[in-house]
């Protein structure tokens, strides 16, 4: 991850929930016009695993 991306994510983390929603909405509007190559099955599995691990972590924090 580049320094620029790390800085953006750090600043994103400092936003209020409403600001985060606004930011994500604007990012999504922009990325629909980008041409991404299809993900491999392995990439999809790795991404799904990361999502589920994060959900488990969040769920444990609420208990």
What's the confidence (pLDDT) of residue 25? 96
The CA-to-CA distance between both ends of the chain, in Å, stands at 32
Nearest 5°: phi and psi at 35? -100, 100
What's the confidence (pLDDT) of residue 40? 94
For residue 42, the SS3 value is: helix
Residues of the chain below pLDDT 70: none
Q: What is the pTM of this model?
A: 0.54
What residue ranges do the domains of the chain occupy? Answer: 3-62
Residues 6+ apart with CB under 8 A from 39: 47
CB 5 within 8 A of CB 13: no
What's the confidence (pLDDT) of residue 9? 95
The length of the chain, given as a count of residues: 63
């Amino acid at each position: 991850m580049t320094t620029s991306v790390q800085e953006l994510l750090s600043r994103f983390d400092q936003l209020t929930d409403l600001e985060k929603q606004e930011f994500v909405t604007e990012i999504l509007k922009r990325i629909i016009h980008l041409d991404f190559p299809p993900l491999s099955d392995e990439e999809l599995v790795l991404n799904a695993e990361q999502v589920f691990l994060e959900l488990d972590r969040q769920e444990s924090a609420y208990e």
